[in-house]
Amino acid sequence: MFDLDDPRYRPLWLRVALTAVCLLWGAVEVFTGSPGWGMGFLALGLWVGWRFFITYDPERRDR
């Protein structure tokens, strides 16, 4: 689906920013009355955080 092992995601600041944006937008959606969208974005943020910080291997897909 998404290739999160791509070398363009190697900078730490980018991985932190993408994870934070997904989680923050999910929180905004939940607190403004759209729990469906909020849960979707929160789930996406958790999945991206898992892939970027727990299972991320920068050497997996070097070009």
Query: Which mean pLDDT values do the consecutive 10-residue runs of the chain (63 residues) have?
Result: 81 95 97 96 96 83 54
Task: Report CA torsion sign: 22, 2, 52, 50.
Answer: positive
3-state secondary structure of 38: helix
pTM for the full predicted model: 0.84
Judged on CB neighbours under 10 Å (0-12, 13-18, 19+), 27 is: middle
CB neighbours of residue 60 within 10 Å = 11
Q: What is the pLDDT of residue 46?
A: 96
